[in-house]
Amino acid sequence: MSARTKARKRALDMLFQADVRSEPILAIVQAEARRAASEPDREASWLYAREIVDGVTDHRDEIDELLMSYAQGWTLDRMPNVDRALLRVAAWEILFNPEVPAAVAIDEAVELAKEYSTEDSGRFVNGVLGKIADQAKA
């Protein structure tokens, strides 16, 4: 597993925790930073995971607005927590990280959705992110 794939999973974990526990993302990030400092093998993925979480936090309103627009019939509250966090991570990469091709961000999110969420999540995540990627190209 590449360092970026690990970073995406770590970002997913942090966003998911903050959401489910209703804790400030800063507290989750600080706990993860302490963990990363004490485990050198986690350091490689830590920097990009932090960049993702910071980016999602900084652009959350814009990202959430797009998610609500393209997730036809689904409010953010109705989405599974994992799907919502995955969509935010990948949407940030598509919209705000030109180093990551949209296809890579979508593929990584779909794979994580298949692994950690519902049976239908992979298709749902793919559909929403595909629309966001199309809008970002335009």
What pLDDT digit, counting tens, does each position of 83-119 carry? 999 999 999 999 999 999 999 999 999 999 999 999 9
Three-class DSSP category at 85: helix
Domain count, the chain: 1
Cα distance from N-terminal residue to C-terminal residue, the chain:
32
Average pLDDT over residues 131-135: 96
Structure tokens at 42: 């986690």
pTM: 0.94
Cα 6 to Cα 3, 13, 55, distances in angstroms: 5, 10, 17
Q: How much is the pLDDT for 13? A: 96
More reliable by pLDDT, 59 or 36: 59
**pLDDT band (50, 70, 90) for residue 122:** very high
Residue 40 has pLDDT above 80, yes or no: no
**Helix (DSSP H) and strand (DSSP E) numbers for the chain:** 7, 0
The residue segments making up the domain with residue 90 are: 3-137
**pLDDT band (50, 70, 90) for residue 124:** very high
For residue 65, the domain's CATH number is 1.10.940.10
Q: How much is the pLDDT for 69? A: 94
Residue 72 has pLDDT above 90, yes or no: no
Of 124, 9, 55, nearest to 17 by C-alpha is 9
